Amino acid sequence: MTDFLLHLTEPALWAAAQHDGAYTWSTRGRTLQQEGFIHLSHPHQLPAVARMLYGSEEVELIVLVIDPTRLTAPLRHEAMSEGGEEFPHLYGPLPVDAVVEVRAWAGDGLGGMAG
């Protein structure tokens, strides 16, 4: 069984990636080129990431559900600080075909994804 990874993004950025064949945004307002990797999350980490990046803003967001076995760039789990929680980081573009599902983000700040 595959443990899927997640990435929270805006629909327009995902639409552009589908046209280009790869997703190259690291996090809100920063590209892969600027950051050096794409920030990903495990399911239990996504609510905190959403709160940190978007707070209570009412922005339409989607969740990319990623099959890590389809990734072509290195994937590393790294902590932001010594001894901190580790997050998955993708050191290259996210291939569109690694995204196995796209879900609407419920926007409740409590971790809900609309099915």
Residue 111 resides in a domain? no
Q: Structural domain tally of the chain?
A: 1
pLDDT on residue 115: 47
Residue 54 resides in a domain? yes
Range of the domain at 69: 5-104
Per-residue pLDDT of the chain (115 residues; tens, 9 = 90+): 469 999 999 999 999 999 999 999 999 999 999 999 999 999 999 998 888 888 777 788 999 999 999 999 999 999 988 989 999 999 999 999 999 999 999 764 444 454 4
Number of neighbouring beta carbons within 10 Å of residue 82: 5
pLDDT on residue 53: 85
Q: Which residues contact 36 (CB under 8 A, 6 or more apart)?
A: 26, 91
pLDDT on residue 104: 92
Burial of 112 (0-12, 13-18, 19+ CB in 10 A): middle
Residue 113 resides in a domain? no
pLDDT on residue 51: 86
